[in-house]
Chains A and B, each alone.
Chain A
Amino acid sequence: MIRSTIFLLLLLTLYPISCIEATASIPNILGNNLIDQTCKKTPYYDLCIQTLVSCPESFHTDLEGLAKITVGAIAHKASAALRRIETILAKKEHSKPAVREALNACASRYRAVVEQDVPETLMSLRTGNYKFASRGTNDAATEAMSCEEDFAAGESPLSDLNVAVHDVSVVAAAIVQAVIES
């Protein structure tokens, strides 16, 4: 808990003081029970805090809103993965065939995340048929992990993004489960 508090303070010092006044005072942020309580229900507390705190809307929304914010983070990171895949594939001379094949497989995985999982999850949250949000966020985690496993050891050029998508998807899935059980 103390470490998390220090982490939050460090995070906030990245922003100019006037920005902090514009959104919320420090005591309000630390006392924002919903974000803290919600992130405690996820397996990656610090990532959860970081994802939510970086979006000011999270301080003024409910549990469903927090879920949507993390889904936005999934979409953001998955899109970044797609862009990096395109960049690497464009440099035709550098990749081994096995790596290119894995990159293509990853591209279809991340397209599924952005084009299927994310819309399904948002629609599910909006209409209240929440199990499909659970399905979408869990699948995003699966796609990211499977992408990493598509490569032989040490050959993945996407490891950081795969882990990022996986982890934020697991956080999102945990928040969705909290929504279902609320």
Chain B
Amino acid sequence: MGDHNQPFLPVSGDPECAPVLGDDVVVDGALHRPQPGSTKSKLLLAVFSGIFVVCLILAGGYDKSGVVKVAQLGGVDELGVGPIEMPAGSTIVRPAVSRGKSAGVSEKANFSPEQLLGGGEVIGDGLTEDFPWNNSMLSWQRTAFHFQPEKNWMNDPNGPLFYKGWYHFFYQYNPNAAVWGDIVWGHAVSRDMIHWLHLPLAMVADQWYDVQGVWTGSATILPDGKVMMLYTGSTNESVQVQNLAYPANHDDPLLLDWVKHPGNPVLVPPPGIHHKDFRDPTTAWKTSEGKWRITIGSKVNKTGIALIYDTEDFINFELKEGFLHGVPGTGMWECVDFYPVAVAGGNGLDTSVNGAGVRHVVKASLDDDRHDYYAIGTYDEEAGKWYPDNPAIDVGIGIRYDYGIFYASKTFFDQSKQRRVLWGWIGEWDSEAADVRKGWASLQGMPRTVVLDTKTGSNLLQWPVVESESLRLRSKEFKNVVAKPGAVVPIKLEAATQLDIVAEFELDKEAVERAVESDEEFKCSSSKGAAHRGALGPFGLLVLSEETLSEQTPVYFYVVKGKNATLRTYFCADQSRSSLANDVNKQIYGSYVPVLTGEKFAVRMLVDHSIIESFAQGGRSVITSRVYPTKAIYGAARLFLFNNGTEAGVTASLKVWQMNSAFIRPFPNL
């Protein structure tokens, strides 16, 4: 091969194929080895367009037939953003895309443009004149009180901790573009986890063992107050290794400068573990032997696992036999987290706490479906094993922290306020072209406290940190607003893009009693969203909506009366009509949520421009949404109460605060 003169057959080394196979080709070298001052993608464009031979001309057309079903991503209840489903066999003039359909529902080849925009609703002529995105729409999307760098790309939260009076937050950051790549550690500090001040980069990719990425890691605070930071590096040969770093000056409360341990890496993939399945070391906790223990996610075939290592100095590690836990079929476990919660609820616990009155949580971010799952169980310290309370909802096959967009999350113990706080990466649900245009991508969720739900004992409760309330400005109360079946009731506010909403709903009792038992098997993602009418729902709020409802984002409850008159409640968000744009997420998602006897339907929502975080039943089920309206922005955004059920009226009481900006900005005078 290779030496023959083959006029028609592309030979090995042909420019069309070679650049994407080799690891040592110019294109890759110029782009993907972060060097100080490296140039970016103009070179790639020149290379690709300059030297490609149109090899595929020879192949001619191809045959598409049949209906396409794209493999859907898993998860207990609902799907996140996944591959776009395409109808095959459609004519070329208008290839169709629909993001309102759910798993396993095949698309038909014949459908009208009106149906494309999801929800089956006709909006004008089904087309939009208002996009492509203009600068006004794009700049509106930036949030007022959620953490985000001034520009460019961010992903996983890293090493959060409280130190010498400051909350520290580090994060995966691309200093060069609004897309993942060239990853380094960004850094910010805050007195209250709300008003963040940007600091210089904490760590850059300047060693052979992290030159291809300074990836995710966690902080451990030693009893003497010193900080150990373990993080994953992607080496010059794409091996995932664990490295140790620590503050250059422990007296600096801002922890500006970091030193990488000269003996790095401190951990390399052990035998039997693939060199690309070994990342995201956790905060360490004390063992009864007085050693420190960490866990690192990985996989063996398709079983996701958490490896355990013990250490006394964070430099020399001993791999413990077996795994902390593993669940077949869940694939790679990223960003594993492991922490205790008090059975009695209340305060959070230091990561090393163990004993009676304590359960342990294991959490994993599943690479397979890009969702965060947790399970509650028992930690056997001596055996180095953890067992779920309920194997049917084990890690990766049970409960998710969040039924919207929320990944790579990580908790830390805030010793100043004795609480466990959860950070989560909130990505974008728009197109890369829009991200490039607006110059940034991704947010962090509002930090949440995490405690065991003492009423159910089988799930966690998440709630925005109490400091979020310091952003509240003027409020308006709406008491006992009635929404009959089919009603949409305006909630008159001075503005509707930066809100903290606390709402309670009650269904008309007689209507509930009268309602016929249904055997409906409901799932948010396979429903018609807010247009899916049942006897007892959907009802809730239309957020970031436009006056004529041309754009609306319903967040709502849907109640099914099942056998023996038991009520089952679902909590959903519906983006099928959230924007007239054609390149944003249009899915419907959510989950079942337990509503106990005597409880009203309750939700708290933080609305901050292009992010909505909705907490149902005190944080028993949480949904984060990224929304990109083209019309329901600035002064045109509205809030409505709605009830699209057919039989029961709904009475709602709400308190709505306007929220201040957090004025996130660079640390002054540095």
A90: shortest Cβ distance to chain B, in Å? 16
Kindly provide the distance from the CB of A107 to the nearest chain B CB, expressed in whole angstroms: 9
Cα(A122)–Cα(B9), bound, Å: 25
Contact between chains at A57 and B17 (CB < 8 Å): yes
Interface digits, A123-167 against B, CB 8 Å rule (1 contact, 0 not)? Answer: 110111111101110110111011011101110100110110011
Over the window 52-71 of chain B, the binary record of Cβ atoms lying under 8 Å from chain A Cβ atoms (1 yes, 0 no) is 10111011001110001111
- Structural contact, B10 and A76, CB atoms closer than 8 A: no
Q: Would you list 24 pairs from A and B whose C-beta atoms are within 8 A, ordered by A residue?
A: A14-B8, A15-B58, A20-B9, A43-B86, A44-B64, A46-B64, A108-B433, A123-B180, A123-B181, A123-B212, A126-B28, A128-B274, A128-B275, A129-B213, A129-B279, A145-B583, A149-B94, A149-B116, A149-B127, A153-B93, A162-B95, A163-B92, A163-B95, A170-B70
Q: A56-B11, A138-B83 are in contact. Are A146 and B583 (CB under 8 A)?
A: yes
Known A131-B367, A138-B83, A174-B70: A73·B56 in contact at CB below 8 Å: yes
Residues of A within 8 A of B127 (CB): 149, 152
Give chain B residues whose Cβ lies under 8 Å from the Cβ of A145.
84, 95, 97, 582-583
Chain B residue with minimal CB distance to A182? B302
Asked if A69 and B21 make an inter-chain contact with CB atoms under 8 angstroms apart, the answer reads: yes
Query: Which range holds the interface residue count of chain B?
Result: 35 or more
A80: chain B residues at CB < 8 Å are: 54
Residues of chain A within 8 A of B64, CB atoms compared: 44, 46-47, 167
Contact B10 A56, beta carbon cutoff 8 Å: yes
Distance A97 CA – B294 CA, assembled complex (angstroms): 61
Of residues 34 through 91 on chain A, the ones whose CB sits less than 8 Å from some CB of chain B are 41, 43-44, 46-47, 50-51, 54-57, 61, 65, 68-69, 71-73, 75-76, 79-80, 82-83
Distance from A33 Cβ to chain B, minimum over Cβ atoms (Å): 19
Closest chain A residue, CB of each to CB of B94: A153
Inter-chain contact A146/B582, CB cutoff 8 Å: yes
Provide the bound-state CA to CA distance between A71 and B28, in Å.
13
Residues of B within 8 A of A (CB): 1, 4, 6-12, 14, 16-21, 23, 28, 31-32, 40-42, 44-45, 48-49, 52, 54-56, 58-59, 62-64, 68-71, 81-84, 86, 88, 92-95, 97, 113, 116, 127, 131-132, 177-181, 212-213, 215, 234, 238, 240, 274-277, 279, 302, 331-332, 367-368, 370, 427, 431-433, 435-437, 582-583
Closest 8 CB pairs of A and B: A128-B276, A19-B9, A115-B41, A146-B583, A72-B20, A112-B433, A105-B132, A55-B17
Q: Residues on A close to B: CB < 8 A?
A: 3, 7, 11, 14-16, 18-20, 22-23, 41, 43-44, 46-47, 50-51, 54-57, 61, 65, 68-69, 71-73, 75-76, 79-80, 82-83, 101-102, 105, 108-109, 111-120, 122-124, 126-132, 134-136, 138-139, 141-143, 145-146, 148-150, 152-154, 156, 159-160, 162-163, 166-167, 170, 173-174, 177, 180-181
Decide: A54 and B59 in contact? CB cutoff 8 A. Answer: yes
Q: Which residues of B contact A130 (CB under 8 A)?
A: 367
B16 touching A22, Cβ below 8 Å: no
Q: Are A61 and B21 in contact, CB atoms less than 8 angstroms apart?
A: yes
Contacts of A11 in B (CB 8 A): 59
Q: How far is the CA of A50 from the CA of B302 in the complex (A)?
A: 29
Partner of B367, one of A14, A153, A180: A180
> How many angstroms between the C-alpha atoms of A152 and B23 in the bound complex?
42
Chain B residues within an 8 Å CB radius of A108: 433, 436-437
Can you name 9 extra interface pairs (CB under 8 A) apart from A14-B58, A126-B23, A143-B583? A7-B62, A56-B11, A108-B437, A113-B432, A114-B45, A120-B181, A128-B277, A177-B71, A180-B331
Chain B residues near A83: list those with CB within 8 A: 49
Query: Judging by beta carbons under 8 Å apart, are A15 and B92 in contact?
Result: no
A69 near B71 with CB under 8 A, answer: no
Find out whether the CB atom of A142 lies under 8 angstroms from the CB atom of B84: yes
**What residues of A have a CB within 8 angstroms of the CB of B368 in the complex?**
180-181
What is the bound-complex CA distance between A159 and B23, given in angstroms?
A: 34
Q: In the bound complex, what is the Cα–Cα distance between A43 and B87 (angstroms)?
A: 10
Contacting pair A72 B16 (CB below 8 A): yes
CA distance A75 to B19 in the complex (A): 11
Least CB distance from B107 to A in Å reads 11
A93 to chain B, nearest CB (A): 23
Selected from A72, A160, A180, the residue in CB contact (under 8 A) with B19 is A72
Interchain CB contact under 8 A, B20 and A68 = yes
Cβ-neighbour of B179 out of A102, A120, A166 (below 8 A): A120
Shortest CB distance A70–B (Å): 9
Contact between B63 and A46, CB atoms less than 8 A apart? yes
Neighbour of A120 across the interface among B8, B21, B180, CB < 8 A? B180
How many Å lie between the Cα of A44 and that of B44 in the bound state? 28
Bound complex: CA A118 to CA B44 (Å): 9
Contact (Cβ within 8 A) A114 B48: yes
Do A69 and B83 contact each other (CB < 8 Å), given the known contacts A18-B6, A128-B275? no
